[in-house]
Each structure stands twice: as structure tokens, then as C-alpha cells.
């Protein structure tokens, strides 16, 4: 069998008990190197480990598929949650093994950001630019969401659409420069967080492991004040 498991964004503290059990019982654990490194303490000494990167993922997943067809228990680990910016990798796993696989959710960096910044997901839209292909429709949607008074949690695209590029794009397309913005780097290890305006963000650099929040100009009332 092959099970895909959300492994928490960069720290074992955010792995579910079900995910931990599946990893500990697996004959084969596969995934991107940085994600496998997070769960390595849980992997059995007798298990085979298959790490991959962007360039060799298709070939490595074909090896995993072969082991699955040889009746090995295979787990493919995903950063954070599979359903937040993980679908393209999930599709590659399913293409490799030729069938739909079980997907065990994890905790996304987007959810951890929401907790740290006290953001209500009901009033916020999640975007990922961490995808191949044309970003045009997603960029247009981001503009519409902010114009409609909602906030946005955004995963940037490391190779060409980082937080400073997102700020520049929004400002060039008429967004209000006063939007408050937060960027967190390696947020499960509390490495760094930055707060400022869209204008200030245009001059800042962050690592690939960054996630960004754009707050609405006028926050919607939360109702928290009225709660006991
Ligand atoms: C392909 S996306 C996968 C997101 C993942 N599925 C999730 O639920 O968090 C990878 C990107 O997520 C963001 N990310 C993941 N973990 C993070 C963390 N611990 N701190 C900040 N950003 C993170 C970074 O932008 C990273 O480049």
C-alpha cells in the first residue's frame, strides 16, 4: 500500500499520532529530503528510505510504486498538510502507482500562521503561488479578495514570486499601500517574523521557508469582545 502523510511543517510537534504510527510501521518511507529529515527519528531501523528532490521526484516515485506493487507498506511524507499546496505532488504519487492513494492530513504552515497571528480562516483566503505554470489567474484572484475586504494567507513561489514581488505586484495593481503584512520564516522553529506595510515589504528579502499574511484594511468584527 501507499499512504501519503502530512508530516507537519518542519517540526515533529505538528505530526498527528496517526501519521507517526504509519511512519513507524512503514517498510518504506519516501519524500523530499527536508521532510524525511523531520520524521527520521520515527523511521524503523529496518525501513528503506527514499529521498528525492524536484528534479528526480518522478524517478524516485517510480521506485516507491514498484515497492508498493511488491506488497511493501509505503509512506510518502508531505510537508505540512497535503491539501495546502501539496496537490501537484499528490498527483505525481498517484500517477506513479496508477491508483488513488489514502491521504492522511497533517497541520499546515497556513494553520500555524493563523494561530500565531490570530487570524480567522473563515474570513481569510488561502493562496499558494508555489506551483508550476501561469500564476495570472491566482494573482487576479488575490487582488479581488483584498478588494472585497478579506485577508489572505499566501505561500510564495521561491524562484520568482517571493513576498517582495507579491507586494510590488499588488501595489502596481492599485492595492492600498497601508495593508498590514506579516511574514514568518520557519515558523515552527520561531526563526523570525516581520510585520509592516505593503510598501515596506517591497524592500525585504526572506528565505524560501516563508509564509505571508496580508490583513484586510478594515478587520471584520470578531465578536470576541462580547464573549465571556
Ligand atoms: C510546497 S509548499 C507546501 C506547504 C505545506 N503543504 C503546508 O501545508 O504548509 C512549501 C512552502 O510552504 C511554506 N512553508 C512550509 N513550512 C513552513 C514553515 N515551517 N515556515 C514557513 N513557511 C513554511 C514555505 O513557503 C514553503 O516554501
Point out the ligand 1 atom lying closest to the alpha carbon of residue 106.
Answer: 8
DSSP string, 161-199: B-HHHHHHHHHHTT--TT-EEEEEESTTTT-EEEEEEHH
Ligand 1 atom closest to the Cα of residue 109 is 9
pTM over 0.85: yes
Q: Which domains are assigned to the chain?
A: 2-104 (3.40.1010.10), 109-214 (3.30.950.10)
Reading the chain (228 residues) residue by residue, the pLDDT tens digits are 999 999 999 999 999 999 999 999 999 999 999 999 999 999 999 999 999 999 999 999 999 999 999 999 999 999 999 999 999 999 999 999 999 999 999 999 999 999 999 999 999 999 999 998 999 999 999 999 999 999 999 999 999 999 999 999 999 999 999 999 999 999 998 777 999 999 999 999 999 999 999 999 876 555 554 444
Which grid coordinates are listed for 156? 510564495
124 CB less than 6 Å from ligand 1?
no
Amino acid at each position: 500500500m501507499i499512504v501519503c502523510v502530512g508530516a507537519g511543517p518542519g517540526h515533529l510537534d505538528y505530526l498527528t499520532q496517526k501519521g507517526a504510527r504509519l511512519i513507524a510501521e512503514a517498510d518504506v518511507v519516501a519524500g523530499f529530503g527536508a521532510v524525511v529529515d523531520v520524521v527520521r527519528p520515527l523511521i524503523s531501523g529496518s525501513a528503506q528510505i527514499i529521498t528525492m528532490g524536484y528534479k528526480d521526484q518522478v524517478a524516485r516515485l517510480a521506485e516507491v510504486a514498484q515497492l508498493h506493487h511488491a506488497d511493501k507498506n509505503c509512506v510518502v511524507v508531505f510537508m505540512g498538510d497535503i491539501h495546502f499546496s501539496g496537490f501537484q505532488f499528490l498527483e505525481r504519487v498517484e500517477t506513479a502507482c496508477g491508483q488513488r492513494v489514502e491521504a492522511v492530513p497533517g497541520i499546515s504552515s497556513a494553520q500555524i500562521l493563523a494561530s500565531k497571528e490570530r487570524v480567522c480562516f473563515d474570513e481569510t483566503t488561502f493562496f499558494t503561488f508555489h506551483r508550476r505554470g501561469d500564476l495570472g489567474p491566482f494573482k487576479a484572484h488575490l487582488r479581488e479578495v483584498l478588494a472585497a475586504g478579506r485577508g489572505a494567507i499566501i505561500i510564495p513561489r521561491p524562484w520568482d514570486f517571493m513576498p517582495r514581488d507579491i507586494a510590488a505586484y499588488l501595489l502596481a495593481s492599485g492595492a492600498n499601500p497601508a495593508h498590514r503584512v506579516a511574514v514568518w520564516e520557519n515558523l515552527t522553529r520561531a526563526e523570525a517574523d516581520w510585520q509592516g506595510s505593503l510598501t515596506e515589504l517591497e524592500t525585504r528579502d526572506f528565505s524560501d521557508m516563508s509564509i505571508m499574511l496580508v490583513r484586510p484594511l478594515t478587520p471584520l468584527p470578531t465578536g470576541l469582545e462580547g464573549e465571556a
